[in-house]
Chain A
Amino acid sequence: MTTMVETPMLPPPGETREIQTREAINEALAQEMRRDETVIIMGEEIAGGAGREHLGIVDAWGGAFRTTRGLIQEFGNERVLDTPLSEAAFVGTAIGAASTGMRAVAELMFVDFVGVCMDQLLNNAAKMRYMFGGQVKVPFVMLTRIGAGFGSAAQHSESFYSLFSHIPGLKGVCPSDAYTAKGLLLSAIRDDDPVVFFEHKGLYGETCPVPEEMYTLPLGKARTVRPGSDITMVGISKMTWVAVEAAEELAKEGVNAEVIDLLSVSPIDYDHVLDSVRRTHRLLVVDEDTPVCSISSDICARVAEEAFDYLDAPPSRVTPPHTPVPYSRALENLYVPNAERVVTAARRLMS
């Protein structure tokens, strides 16, 4: 059996094995299912071609984005469950199983579809432990997908993690690469609380060094991916790399930006952000979620409350507008934050 090691928030310097984010997710699921036989996973197309084993068809899709490939061969169709197209039923069922002895993972193909099963998250997963006076734990993970930029229009492009952060009782993580995806997913499955795991469609093909053995990364902890002294930029999910790109641009102008990768959207690692802002005196949050009542507005509020005296500029943000995601590329390109917008906003804060 592979052993579990505690690891720092960045890949170990000697690590040479590079894998894709999609492979890291797949590896974490397989390793944890091997280690803990109470772990089950269910969702639409997670194997695919369901019920056709007799025709030699198994694992036809391996997930809509191939993140669950191979699981059904190894763990069988009792632990790897393709579902009918019924999210309210299977998300709720996973929550029920999780509160009665399983560790249940359910995949919601795109976060935009959460409307049809939100009640199960809002009124069961999030509240059961509290309402029941602590009698129950809910080790449930909902894997889901976020991200615009693919010409998929308003119902397949949202990044609504803030919606979930708003709900007391749910935890949320937004990995930004293969390394954090693996470590955070292992933690999410082992956690006794319901966790929503947000995979960005634009990160699946990206690679980075990832240890083969199991390791966990703490939920609720951010990491610094680029140290700096002049301005703190906080990125979430793919936006971390947009912030890094902007930071490289700003460096040419003599501005040394620090980039924090938030990683968890509930709990939010305010202290990590505050420590940085107290040194740099400026804050710019780069977020793909919409700006009203969101993670980005929340971080700005917290910094204003707790580091007001340290600030040399107003806490600021680069986000999409308060609109649905437009289809036409001409508009979608304006919608998603890019390095240019981040640089422009940072310059304003520096002047």
Chain B
Amino acid sequence: MAPDRDTLLELYRTMTTIRHFEERGVPETGQRGMSASVHSSVGQEAVPTGVCAHLTDDDYIGSTHRGHGHCIAKGVDPKLMMAELFGRSHGPNKGKGGSMHIADMSKGMLGTNGIVAGSVPLAVGAALTSKIQRLGRVAVAFFGDGGANQGVLHECMNLASVWKLPVIFCCENNGYAESTPVEYGLSVANVADRAAGYDMPGFHVDGMDVFAVYEAAGEAVSRARAGDGPALLEARTYRYYGHTVFDNPLTYRTKEEEDHWRARDPLLTFRNHMIAQGNVITAEELDQMDEEARVLMEEAVAFADASPLPEPHEIYEDVYADYPVDMMRRGANMSV
């Protein structure tokens, strides 16, 4: 189904919000001495955007270490996210998780995750809850091309298939796991080829094209909602920057390759597409959304900086639902 005008506006707004969050939030976090755990998803905006456009707050996603885009696409407030990156108490995780653990249960966001493919079974579990309680919810498990080779993913695809769970396995194939090219680690040509081994449909789409992602995800999500079980959706995309800010990607890939992908920028592709379609959405409207995203990040940084640091006693909070604090500090000679 082709997206209507409101949906088109939302798709672009989400993409530009992700882009602006990454371009502003990653360096700002670095300036606050917390860059070790931050991964930019610039270049990959179309994937979470096109997928999550089919989800409501009641649906679930599990995310990765490169998860800011997933959070934003799923409706997590960028201001709160920025506070989390800065280690502040107004972050959704109260500053205790940071970039690799952003979770917002009110938005069905089951967390970014520092363990590659670590959130996949969480999404499968959310799908199981939905099935048992007949909630009609679906879950999406995001993972990378590197994550595609984790054993847990394969066990999950099999289990979700035999139990016919409403879950979509979404591989963001950006060509690299850290410095390792996808073709080195993957035994098949495409991750989506593996769907056959688990008796589920496999979709392979251009992850730089939000319309292609939107269309394939729409099919996978409606199948899942209808009770027809899981699907594997692979979106071929690219991360523009290094694995982290410490990585120089030109040690393992070429400038020509980078230029090739940047020329297919998802925001630019969208813009060109709108013009070709006779300005269903005008350049001015797109510029306006870019500007709003820029201003939003301005506000997010200010909000995050104004948010208080966690109080010392919070180190003992939220470890358990119920556990004596004394047992956590006993014998440790803590200063708090």
Instruction: Identify which of A109-117, A137-145, A232-240, A272-280 touches chain B.
Output: A109-117
Which residues, 300 to 332 on B, are CB-close (under 8 Å) to A?
309-310, 312, 314-316, 319, 327-332
Closest chain A CB from B16 CB (angstroms): 27
- Say whether B116 faces chain A, with CB atoms less than 8 Å apart: yes
Contact B179 A60 (CB under 8 A): yes
Check A131 for interface membership: any CB of B closer than 8 A: no
Instruction: Give the distance in Å from the alpha carbon of A322 to the alpha carbon of B254 in the complex.
Output: 46
The interface residues of chain A lying within 8 Å CB-to-CB of B181 are 49-52
Determine which of A45, A52, A112, A316 lies in contact with B115 in the assembled complex, contact meaning CB atoms within 8 Å: A112
B residues less than 8 Å from A351 (CB atoms) = none
A197 interface hit (Cβ, 8 Å): no
* One of B89, B97, B152 near A154 (C-beta < 8 A): B97
A101 within 8 A of B: no
Give every chain B residue within 8 A of A331 (Cβ-Cβ). Answer: 95-96, 310, 312, 314-315
Per-position binary interface string of chain B over residues 159-182, scored 1 when its CB falls under 8 Å from any chain A CB and 0 otherwise: 000000000000000000111110
CB atoms of A85 and B97 under 8 A apart? no
Bound together, the chains give a CA A48 to CA B242 distance in angstroms of: 13
Let me know if B332 and A319 touch, CB within 8 A: yes
B151 to chain A, nearest CB (A): 5
The answer to whether B328 and A341 touch across the interface, beta carbons within 8 angstroms, is: no
Task: Determine the main DSSP class of A at the interface with B.
Answer: loop
Within 8 A of A (CB), among B270-301: none
Partner of A82, one of B180, B310, B312: B180
The answer, yes or no, to whether B147 is at the interface (CB within 8 Å) is yes
CB contact between B96 and one of A57, A155, A328 (< 8 Å): that residue: A328
Q: Is B56 an interface residue (CB 8 A)?
A: no
> A327-B96, A344-B333 given as contacts; is B180 within 8 A of A48 (CB)?
yes
Inter-subunit contact B252/A57 (CB<8 Å):
yes
List residues of chain B with CB within 8 A of the CB of A160: none
User: Does B219 touch A at the CB level, under 8 Å?
Assistant: no
State in angstroms the CA–CA spacing of A148 and B162 once bound together: 41
Taken residue by residue from 142 to 163, chain A's Cβ proximity to chain B (1 for < 8 Å, 0 otherwise) reads as: 0000000011111110000000
- The distance in angstroms between the C-alpha atoms of A324 and B37, with both chains bound, is 16
**Contact of B43 with A by CB under 8 A:** no
A312 at the interface (CB under 8 A from B): no
Cβ–Cβ contact B178 & A44, under 8 A? yes
Q: Are A151 and B87 within 8 A (Cβ)?
A: yes
Query: How many Å lie between the Cα of A330 and that of B328 in the bound state?
Result: 18
**A350 CB within 8 Å of chain B:** no
Q: How far is the CA of A115 from the CA of B310 in the complex (A)?
A: 29
Given that A84-B185, A85-B147, A327-B95 are contacting pairs, would A334 and B312 also be in contact in the complex, using a CB cutoff of 8 Å? yes
A320 close to B (CB within 8 Å): yes
B195 interface residue (CB < 8 Å to A): no
Residues of A within 8 A of B35 (CB): 151
Residues 99-129 of chain A: 1 if any B CB is under 8 Å from the residue's CB, otherwise 0? 0000000000000110110000000000000
Say if the beta carbon of B230 comes within 8 Å of chain A: no
The answer to whether the Cβ of A64 comes within 8 Å of any Cβ in the partner chain is yes
Any B CB within 8 A of the CB of A326: yes
List the B side residues contacting A155 at CB < 8 Å: 100-101, 113-115, 118
B315 adjacent to A326 (CB under 8 Å): yes
**Does the CB pair A50–B101 fall under 8 Å?**
no
Most chain A C-beta atoms within 10 Å of own C-beta, residue among B96, B251, B331, B334: B331
| A60 surroundings in chain B (CB, below 8 A) | 179, 251-252
Bound CA–CA A200/B180 (angstroms): 24
Residues of chain A within 8 A of B147, CB atoms compared? 85
Residues on B with beta carbons closer than 8 Å to the beta carbon of A316: 331, 333
Q: Which of B101, B184, B314, B334 interacts with A153 by CB under 8 Å?
A: B101
Give the chain A neighbours of B329 by CB distance below 8 A: 321-322
Residue of A84, A89, A321, A345 touching B184 (CB-CB under 8 A): A84
Q: Which residue of B lies closest to A61 (CB)?
A: B179
A84, A297, A328, A334 pick with most chain B CB within 10 angstroms: A328
Q: How far is the CA of A5 from the CA of B39 in the complex (A)?
A: 45
Closest-CB distance, A152 to chain B (whole angstroms): 5
Q: Is B183 an interface residue (CB 8 A)?
A: yes
B83 to chain A, nearest CB (A): 10
- How far does the alpha carbon of A127 sit from the alpha carbon of B96 in the complex, in Å? 38
B135 at the interface (CB under 8 A from A): no
Of B35, B177, B178, the most chain A CB neighbours within 10 A belong to B178
Known: A44-B180, A317-B331, A329-B87. A85 touches B150 (CB 8 A): yes
Residues of chain A within 8 A (CB-CB) of B178 are 44-45, 48, 61, 64
- Contact with A291, one of B113, B152, B332 (Cβ below 8 angstroms): B332
Return the 3 tightest CB-CB contacts between A and B, nearest first.
A328-B87, A155-B114, A49-B252
Chain B: residues with CB nearer than 8 A to chain A? 33-37, 87-89, 93, 95-98, 100-101, 113-116, 118, 146-147, 149-152, 177-181, 183-186, 251-254, 309-310, 312, 314-316, 319, 327-336
Q: Besides A318-B332, A327-B101, 11 other CB < 8 A contacts?
A: A57-B252, A60-B179, A153-B96, A153-B97, A153-B101, A291-B332, A326-B314, A326-B315, A334-B312, A340-B335, A341-B334
A-B contacts, 8 of them at CB < 8 A, read A48-B251, A52-B181, A116-B115, A322-B319, A322-B328, A323-B316, A328-B98, A330-B87
